[in-house]
Chain A
């Protein structure tokens, strides 16, 4: 378990996540420029161009969501928040979920901060013992919990298995804003939809439509409207049909050329103008095909979640 902020044993002098290489790990310490801008009310958003998160201004402190995915980026994120609120330290970190690329480096971001996570996320973090990823000081369970921290009111919502473990949304009803990481983002999905629990994914995400919000801040790229959120979920839903059609057509999900050719012919007319289509649509399809070939993956990928409105 990573429980302090002291330098670790890797000779490169940086926290090293789960890397096993013994040599230099230059990417861990590399500085990244962080862009930041206000969202609504006391909510701000930060990004290094690919990853995105939010931070919230309290009366005396800042509440940071997530850490970014390397020690260098975590420090840059801390610097960005300090630039915006120079007299308000980061005293609380809220983890969206357990993956290192979003929450791996609280030890570099704000080593003394109070960390909040869903119990499912923290169970994985505790077991993983990754260098730089601190376990939570406070966990919660169930679907919803309300917070009022240093004058910041928000709700954390665990809708069911979506991506990773214990992946929670932050809901700011007073600002009609929803933040959730690695679920909906603009365009087609990322690679093969790593660690997505696909079987019940769309209906679980649609539970958020029972809440009153019109701005969605994702964990990557830019914010989207409620209407765009629905369009993106529609893409995910339609991929279930395309995947079945591809299997029936005899497409091998691991034949890269065949997969791309079928994707271009069948998804292309509908989606080729979408952001990242040429990078990932074929990979998206391959993952969906596996859903029918193998079934859902693990308990998280098969257990039937609550699907009632939130």
Chain B
């Protein structure tokens, strides 16, 4: 039986979509677990009678591997709730393969983008949240879902577990410098929105990719993004040809190497980050999401 395709149209993608990687699970507390396929990372929690899972991973095979990992860590409890961190397929694209009967929770903008996209395998939200902060108790698991405003993707929800001292935010701050071209980041308010999480009491940060970090690592990640934004402006003002990879890598990399060169992936990614970030200043940000009073253009044209 063919796999759900997401956006793929090539038959040759079937093997890629079907591949089921090994998952690594790490217990963060008695009922809270982090899981990764070596690239993406997410979180699930054991409720009294069900599992509350964030996201689905990015292919049908990965979604099935995720479900099996949950079954091994929390045997006998079905995935009753899936919370979408944001709309992107590589994180939330395959609930149809992961937990087709689960309640699916998403921010309203995330839900609208998913409806408009209609990707094969990405199930629509069944419980839509509006607003910045939601205190929830799902089957005995207490958490807060937080949307400070546009950061990455659409309707990106962070999860705050006060009792465990854990914050989860997908594809925002990383514990390293492996940001690549920073796809679908919204820079106008990114750093202040992310720093607003520091008002909460937590000491462990679960990012949407790669390894975990602590509060200091998260703060350093915010500082790093801010420093890239400043040095990209300086590149502009120093007449660096901002449209070229090597000159931008050279200028921004040299400016930040002493302070951030120890971050994993710095050399390989700082040029890509610089190319993307400098265009924020060249173009003025992308869409209403990237303005001081962030909103979403055309959002009213999608009804739920």
Contacts and interface: CB of A to CB of B under 8 A. Distances in A.
Contacts of A302: 113, 116-117
Contact of A292 (B6, B268, B289): B6
B10 A299 contact: no
Given A27-B239, A127-B293, A194 B233 contact: no
Chain A CB count within 10 A is highest, among B179, B293, B297, for B297
Q: Which of A26, A27, A255, A256 has the most CB of B within 10 A?
A: A256
B117 A253 contact: no
B50 interface: no
Contact of B181 (A104, A127, A253, A291): A253
Contacts of B299: 299
Interface residues of A, number: 62
A190 interface: yes
Interface stretch (A81-89, A221-229, A282-290): A282-290
A78 interface: no
B253 to A, nearest CB: 12
B272 A254 contact: yes
B7 A295 contact: yes
Interface string A1-38: 00000000000000001111101111100100000000
Contacts of B272: 254, 256
Contact of B295 (A17, A26, A127, A194): A127
A310 to B, nearest CB: 20
A279 interface: yes
Given A21-B234, A26-B237, A191-B279, A298 B184 contact: yes
Contact of A120 (B90, B112, B275, B297): B297
A298 B16 contact: no
B271 interface: yes
A18 B93 CA distance: 35
A237 to B, nearest CB: 12
Nearest to A161: B298
A123 interface: yes
Contact of B89 (A99, A190, A293): A293
A244 B181 contact: no
Interface stretch (B69-77, B134-142, B280-288): B280-288
A165 B285 contact: no
B288 A295 contact: no
A127 B299 CA distance: 16
Interface of B: 6-10, 12-13, 15-16, 58, 87-90, 93, 109, 112-113, 116-117, 119, 122, 153-154, 178-181, 183-184, 188, 229-230, 233-234, 236-237, 239, 243-245, 268-269, 271-272, 275-276, 279-293, 295-299, 301-302
13 contacts: A17-B284, A23-B237, A104-B284, A124-B291, A127-B292, A127-B295, A191-B243, A192-B275, A195-B283, A295-B119, A296-B117, A299-B109, A299-B299
